Structure 1
């Protein structure tokens, strides 16, 4: 890709982004779009619409100022700890790539440009002169690249350490802040053995009353639940009700009357079943029906947090596939449909999903190769002569510059929903685990299909024109040789998926158009916009993918760094605005996205160091190549240290903390009160019937310690602020007395 194509793509994306930002600043002021752009504030009863005035139709940047002035406590009050952690990932990216941009722009980029190592190459483009490929073999300037790599790696590891430490502390404080969570006392039991003598519920009660008599309180069996099954059961109930009407024999219609069309009688004599007879029939068959719906899973309640932790982390039977225990998710976080899946079938589901993911990744190579073919039409002219007509047109810069990244972005829109479906089929028992699993799958897919596949397919297209074949020993150096040549394509991808993607995130086109059609065309009074949660599995992966691009290209093709830095700065403002105004919190992972971000960053660093070491060797600078080996080892050791020091805090709960909390609650008399309310929290039929009902607010501890710390105790006096776990839904919200009114202008 040459410079005119890059400038064409930049002009298209800048124009679209500026236009959508300006349109958003106007549309957000219109009363019709309040629920689109202020869904969370509407849920909290904190918005108002001013009278129509000229200012509502003039673009403004007031939302940028409000997003900038918001504190971390405000973000926590609106989006919870996961929103804070996500913005910490963005802030980390801003810090490290600001350092990388300064170093590489003023040190590495001039050395690349004046390297004069590609003067005699035939297919050299002006963009190639700005990469490390232009540095001559054996040049002393390669030590500047090596020094820059050391500085960036050291700064990245330092920032990662402090962020990991702070977020781990924040997670511990989040657990201590809400000690009355039902999940602290509840254990999920799966793989309950079947018995022909007793039901699953009786087996659970007998087992835990026998082995945990002093700590076991009660249990709640999980019933099979599903939309198709519910329709079948409703139809069966209706059939029974219609065929067993009290006071009738075999005929339901009186003789000598008009026929009703069902049994030969008259329509006037058809007898409807009353509410009393239906209730009587339901109560008579309730026990039998519930017993038939029992699944091999149950929620078991214990008297203390310590007892629940001990049961959750121990093997209950000699057969590890029976009586499998783990800490239960929060009530609003439970994914009830997957609790009904037999535990011994989960491994089949996981293998099937793994195979399906591999097949989908292989099939996605087709659009990836097509995208690279658009960027390298000149190289395809040898195999397809008719493409010469296209390459001679005036719009070739649009085809090779803007169109490839747009096509790839459109194809990638199907990836997050599909990976969410795969995570559901795997059998995740909570919505937060399902979304995090989808985030991992999307991240792996993006790293392979967006990064590696584009580099390899682009290499294949280039070499196909020259009819050259690489030997197996060249495969190790192929990646290092071709990464700098793909820098221009990834620049356009950052602008299209990043800059334009942020403007689409801000504008919310699908809810906006749907709300307009619903209200203005169909003339409906009810609201079209439903409550939505933040798409961590989409946005986290985009930020980490851009982080991979930034690290791998920082010394190879530094020109991409300013584009990335602009994206991260705008992402910081856009996501803060969306978290405070649009998205509501239903469940939390308590910051579990940070270990994923940490691992992705370490992978990016090590990949950068390996590629740089290979390139230094190809440039016949053995000393610079050898110097990267200690850097790789130190980065790997740093990762091991962080895993041993901080990762256990994200996987397990400390027994010491649980015992201290139990003792404090027992002294104050709160423990018994908490235990008595446990069965009320996990009401499967209520939660499955309407999963968007307003959750109960958790009670915060009255005693506050270290109030001067930033997030030690987030005492935020805001109406409708989430309790660190859940956010009230807009559907069934009762307004609080005298809410604080905030204008949407």
Structure 2
């Protein structure tokens, strides 16, 4: 069990690590050679160019020779806080701005709670000596917890009153934030520029995914599971159905093709093209020797051939295969899925279609808001609805076993936190372990870093499960993965650590006491696990957040690509890899801190300062990253906020139930029954918020749709909406080869002008044309492929 000295050692290690990361970042970011790594968002938006090079000093291209800039190397912190929220929304989108509000929500909740807990709870818990006479294994920190209160003491009334106070304060902040975010979302949708997703609906034969779609496609609907007809093709059937049932609003539709094989060929061609570029660049640097390679596995054996000729023929063969597969997809009726993106003349018409039942049979002609074009996960559109239920059942079973068997590494982590168990298992290490610094390192730092390592590959596994389930948008995939990640952390990281940790720490006590006393021992031990979570927060929440801003992996990859693969400005842009906020990993991790803070606020408040440091540090770091680095793949207009709200409410209920169980083991018979009211009141609060605010995230009001349609007709009476939507939802693999792969430059994604700021942006670097490419129809694509 970690002592106060162990916590101090862990804090020193993590603080020094975080400072090292910040200093390294502050130095690396001002070097010209790293400018595209630490400011990629500005390059993507065309508002920044490569730093000017001083002609008299070639080194200035790589190293910042301005000594004055090194005296201002920490100015990124205040700069990250200066951009006002309206400008941040224009610059990065509503998703990014609202994501930052999650960190600010943590500060607003736990700031007053910490002040109250330290003023009231710490003195109440400290003024006892219960643990000294209990025979349990404890540390000095545990004297500040509820475990130090005698059984049956009247002091438990203090904990009861504060539990009510903390609940009411948390609910008030949650309600206020829900109200603000809902208003921000409606305002964003009302003021947002015209987008294809605002006129498009998805027509399907499956249950509605309105709750899962990333952005209310206010004029486009997705229709899936179109019932087959022997006399009509899918396109004729869709057109006939919507002309009959929506005669005044139907505009056009785009069929969904199963182009997964074609997509694989396109991706493979990109990889082979990278190798071809690598060897061509290598040959340019040394023209006297042509590069060669072996054709066997990993180039270890096989015939040695000319590398450039080999990959050139490979690319040519793949190009022929791609053209053949394109023609096959467009001409083969089996490639046409029973689904279509249906566009409407008005947002009002799309809203009516997406939010109503289309057919007498509720399992056919199901419609939902279509994801915006960037948000569509095309691979899953080819999955028939009949298989979705089976896939989700298989994924649920796999997730159950994953969660269950992960208890094994959790037990290993908890064994590291208990010196006695290590010494019993490995007695020959006892002389080394008993060294004071090593002992403090093992108990205060090693468990947290071990748990972090065990969780390293979990998000990737959960995302694979979500894709297997068949969700059709990236936002839905991320939210599904986030919900499972949170549940996994609740079961394994929270409950698993408490149960296994208590078992390891109090094993000797369990053996020598009656069965009836075991619940009391567990009740006393639960607050004492705060020391483990403190070490984990410092590793993950302090050093981990500081490591995020350093971007060590993208930095290395960028310079490797820039050295071996980059030939054009377009290649250099692709090498930047700005990344995204990563909702599927970031939000569940934040929710774990909400859970820990709410659970331990009453029982072990010493944990709260560590959580507040995390929220404050993360807010500054991620605000900087969102402004300068991250480039979102899609915009969901903060559709994830109901998930954030319900998980904080769930954490609040868990904290109340655990406190109720804890007080029952302490024989606080008078105060414990009064806690029953708290979960009931919290559930009522959740139902109120769900009914009052959640509709803004699920449905689009007809009043808002009509208002925006009326304004648009008044401003743009001659708008060619059909031309605007014509190729909005064509599969990416059907786009012409000269079009930029980044869809962020599309007309419907261009952001409005930014509010004036103190940040200077340069435009000296010639940027590739945003409109130089074109999008071809399937027939046009096939004609291009057939040209000699």
TM, length-normalised to structure 1: 0.83
Residue deviations 1:89-112 (CA, integer Å, cap 9, x gap):
111111221111111112111221
Contact 2:599 2:651 in 1 (8 A): yes
Q: Go from structure 1 to structure 2 and tell me whether the alpha carbon gap of 1:144 and 1:26 turns closer, same or farther (over 3 Å shift).
A: same
The Cα shift of 1:298 comes to 0.9
Question: Which segment is superposed worse, 422-431 or 372-381?
Answer: 372-381
Query: 1: CA distance between counterparts of 2:588 and 2:100?
Result: 13
Residue 108 (structure 1) aligned to one of 118, 121, 140: 121
The Cα shift of 1:464 comes to 4.0
Aligned to 1:449: 492
Contact 1:219 1:301 in 2 (8 A): yes
Residue deviations 1:388-420 (CA, integer Å, cap 9, x gap):
455434412212221110011112121222222
Query: 1: CA distance between counterparts of 2:718 and 2:158?
Result: 63
Contact 2:95 2:636 in 1 (8 A): yes
Q: Provide the secondary structure at the position in 1 that maps to 2:221.
A: strand
Unmatched runs of 5 consecutive residues or more in structure 1 = 236-273, 702-713, 722-729, 737-745
Unmatched runs of 5 consecutive residues or more in structure 2 = 53-59, 198-217, 270-315, 760-764, 772-788
Q: Go from structure 1 to structure 2 and tell me whether the alpha carbon gap of 1:400 and 1:224 turns closer, same or farther (over 3 Å shift).
A: same
Residue 538 (structure 1) aligned to one of 579, 585, 588: 585
Residue 84 (structure 2) aligned to one of 56, 61, 71: 71
Aligned to 1:243: none
Q: Provide the secondary structure at the position in 1 that maps to 2:248.
A: coil
Residue 459 (structure 1) aligned to one of 494, 502, 526: 502
Q: Provide the secondary structure at the position in 2 that maps to 1:300.
A: strand
Question: Which segment is superposed worse, 391-400 or 20-29?
Answer: 391-400
Query: 2: CA distance between counterparts of 1:649 and 1:590?
Result: 11
Q: Go from structure 1 to structure 2 and tell me whether the alpha carbon gap of 1:475 and 1:447 turns closer, same or farther (over 3 Å shift).
A: farther
Q: Provide the secondary structure at the position in 2 that maps to 1:428.
A: coil
Query: 1: CA distance between counterparts of 2:124 and 2:469?
Result: 51
Residue 365 (structure 2) aligned to one of 323, 329, 332: 323
Query: 1: CA distance between counterparts of 2:329 and 2:143?
Result: 78
Residue deviations 1:308-327 (CA, integer Å, cap 9, x gap):
22222233334433322111
Task: Please state if 1:553 is matched with 2:600.
Answer: yes
Query: 2: CA distance between counterparts of 1:523 and 1:154?
Result: 57
Aligned to 1:206: 240
Structure 1 segment 29-428 matched on structure 2, within 5 A: 29-47=30-48, 49=51, 52-56=65-69, 60-122=73-135, 123-178=137-192, 180-183=194-197, 184-227=218-261, 231=265, 289-379=331-421, 388=430, 391-394=433-436, 395-428=438-471
Residue deviations 1:155-190 (CA, integer Å, cap 9, x gap):
111111111001101111111112632222211111
The Cα shift of 1:221 comes to 0.6
Cα RMSD, aligned residues only: 3.4
Q: Go from structure 1 to structure 2 and tell me whether the alpha carbon gap of 1:628 and 1:64 turns closer, same or farther (over 3 Å shift).
A: same
Query: 1: CA distance between counterparts of 2:397 and 2:7?
Result: 38
The Cα shift of 1:627 comes to 2.6
Contact 1:368 1:408 in 2 (8 A): yes
Contact 1:296 1:340 in 2 (8 A): no
Q: Provide the secondary structure at the position in 2 that maps to 1:682.
A: coil
Query: 1: CA distance between counterparts of 2:490 and 2:506?
Result: 23
Q: Provide the secondary structure at the position in 1 that maps to 2:743.
A: coil
Aligned to 2:8: 7
Query: 2: CA distance between counterparts of 1:474 and 1:349?
Result: 45
Q: Go from structure 1 to structure 2 and tell me whether the alpha carbon gap of 1:233 and 1:210 turns closer, same or farther (over 3 Å shift).
A: farther
Q: Provide the secondary structure at the position in 2 that maps to 1:623.
A: coil
The Cα shift of 1:129 comes to 1.1
Aligned to 1:574: 621
Query: 2: CA distance between counterparts of 1:354 and 1:336?
Result: 23
Query: 2: CA distance between counterparts of 1:354 and 1:617?
Result: 35
Aligned to 1:649: 696
Contact 1:693 1:731 in 2 (8 A): no
Aligned to 1:254: none
The Cα shift of 1:337 comes to 1.3
Q: Provide the secondary structure at the position in 2 that maps to 1:25.
A: helix
The Cα shift of 1:127 comes to 2.1
Task: Please state if 1:693 is matched with 2:743.
Answer: yes
Residue 600 (structure 1) aligned to one of 647, 650, 673: 647
Contact 1:613 1:624 in 2 (8 A): no
Aligned to 2:293: none
Task: Please state if 1:504 is matched with 2:517.
Answer: no
The Cα shift of 1:672 comes to 5.4
Query: 1: CA distance between counterparts of 2:522 and 2:372?
Result: 46
Residue deviations 1:599-631 (CA, integer Å, cap 9, x gap):
111111112122222323333332322232223
Q: Go from structure 1 to structure 2 and tell me whether the alpha carbon gap of 1:379 and 1:427 turns closer, same or farther (over 3 Å shift).
A: same
Q: Provide the secondary structure at the position in 2 that maps to 1:301.
A: strand
Query: 2: CA distance between counterparts of 1:234 and 1:105?
Result: 59
The Cα shift of 1:639 comes to 1.0
Q: Go from structure 1 to structure 2 and tell me whether the alpha carbon gap of 1:470 and 1:34 turns closer, same or farther (over 3 Å shift).
A: farther
Query: 2: CA distance between counterparts of 1:699 and 1:17?
Result: 36
Query: 2: CA distance between counterparts of 1:585 and 1:175?
Result: 17
Query: 2: CA distance between counterparts of 1:399 and 1:505?
Result: 25
Aligned to 1:260: none
Query: 2: CA distance between counterparts of 1:435 and 1:213?
Result: 36
Q: In the comparison of the two structures, how many residue pairs are matched? A: 674
Contact 1:25 1:59 in 2 (8 A): no
Contact 1:188 1:328 in 2 (8 A): yes
The Cα shift of 1:474 comes to 7.9
Q: Provide the secondary structure at the position in 2 that maps to 1:622.
A: coil
Task: Please state if 1:434 is matched with 2:481.
Answer: no
